Amino acid sequence: MPEGYVPFFIFVAAAVGFVLTMLLVAKILRPSSPFATKLEAYECGIRAATTARGRYAVRYYIIAILFVIFDVETVFLFPWAVRYKVLGWFGVVEVAVFLAILIVGYIWAYKKGALEWV
């Protein structure tokens, strides 16, 4: 059974060897002349005022997560809309319950202050 994997291992070894060889060739052939201006974040001539690793308020992340959650939940309305006539009143009640849960989630997020920007 293991002899069936020999072509696979040969292929993996050839792929890894090719990648390593190309990286070595590129390192040998490329020009290398590092200096202060070249090592800066931007080569436009303007020095950076601060580092790019700033801190953001957690509120932005919470709003983004809430948007994704509620947006993905509303995507579930599409299959219901496609099969609306087949589902009948059962489908209407089902979507009403779904939307009620979604609205309760919005109200909860609003009361917690997660949707306020300031």
pLDDT in tens, 55-105: 777 777 777 888 888 788 778 888 888 888 888 888 889 888 988 988 888
Phi, psi of 35 (to 5 degrees): -145, 170
Cα separation values, 10 from 2, 19, 82, 86, Å: 13, 14, 50, 55
Q: For the full predicted model, state whether its pTM sits above 0.75.
A: no
In a domain, 95, yes or no: yes
| Residues 14-49: tens digit of each pLDDT | 999 999 999 999 999 988 877 776 766 665 666 667
What is the tally of structural domains in the chain?
Answer: 1
In a domain, 30, yes or no: no
75: domain range?
A: 58-112
CATH number at residue 97: 1.20.58.1610
Phi, psi of 39 (to 5 degrees): -85, -5
